[in-house]
């Protein structure tokens, strides 16, 4: 059975939270990567940034719906969500656009489990951890290559 350790990219390119969005984009293009783990000065994983985060900066702003009910104004979608959208769209550093809710896997995770996680959680780039240390990454193309190889 294929495991993450068999298909992961070891020693992945990482970026810091203070890396500029432009430098990130250039690095991803030059190295043909779809994302990068974000690590702090101690090497601790603090987020993940992907091409999708870069694309998000150029989407149309979704304004919350406001309705009036009995002389009260209700905001659907929430002002926090709007604030988060604006910050991400105007971000100049990786910290502004990265995903902070990290979904990681370990080296022993099976190919089937990775495919399930990616499909059900809508994630296409996963950091691989060993005892809270980043050791690699797996993206959709790694999974597709492994599926073809196993067929």
pLDDT value of residue 68: 55
Q: Which two tokens stand for residue 122?
A: 């809508």
Cα 41 to Cα 99: distance, rounded to the nearest angstrom: 18
- Are residues 55 and 137 in contact, defined by beta-carbon separation less than 8 angstroms? no
Q: Does domain 4-150 have CATH number 3.10.580.10?
A: yes
Cα 122 to Cα 90: distance, rounded to the nearest angstrom: 24
Q: Tell me the pLDDT tens digit for each residue of 88-99.
A: 555 688 998 899
Can you tell me which residue has the tokens 């070891």?
Answer: 10
Q: Tell me the pLDDT tens digit for each residue of 89-144.
A: 556 889 988 999 999 999 999 999 999 999 999 999 999 999 999 999 999 999 99
Residue 62 has pLDDT above 60, yes or no: no
Strand spans (E) along 11-104: 35-39, 45-50, 65-69, 72-76
Cα 28 to Cα 20: distance, rounded to the nearest angstrom: 12
**CA nearest 33: which of 148, 144, 142?**
142
Q: Vertex 103, ends 36 and 26: CA angle to 5°? A: 15
The pLDDT of 49-72, averaged and rounded, is 63
User: Residue 86's pLDDT band (boundaries 50, 70, 90)?
Assistant: very low
Q: Report which of residues 51 and 47 the model is more confident about.
A: 47
- The domain spans of the chain are 4-150
């Amino acid at each position: 059975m294929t495991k993450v350790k068999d298909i992961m990219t070891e020693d992945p390119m990482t970026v810091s939270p203070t890396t500029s969005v432009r430098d990130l984009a250039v690095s991803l293009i030059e190295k043909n990567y779809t994302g990068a783990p974000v690590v702090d000065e101690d090497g601790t994983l603090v987020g993940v940034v992907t091409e999708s985060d870069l694309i998000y900066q150029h989407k149309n702003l979704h304004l919350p719906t406001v309705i009036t009910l009995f002389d009260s104004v209700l905001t659907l979608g929430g002002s926090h969500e709007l604030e988060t959208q604006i910050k991400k769209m105007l971000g100049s550093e990786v910290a502004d656009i990265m995903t902070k809710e990290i979904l990681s896997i370990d080296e022993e995770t099976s190919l089937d489990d990775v495919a399930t996680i990616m499909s059900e959680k809508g994630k296409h780039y996963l950091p691989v951890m060993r005892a809270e240390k980043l050791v690699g990454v797996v993206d959709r193309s790694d999974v597709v290559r492994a599926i073809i190889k196993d067929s």
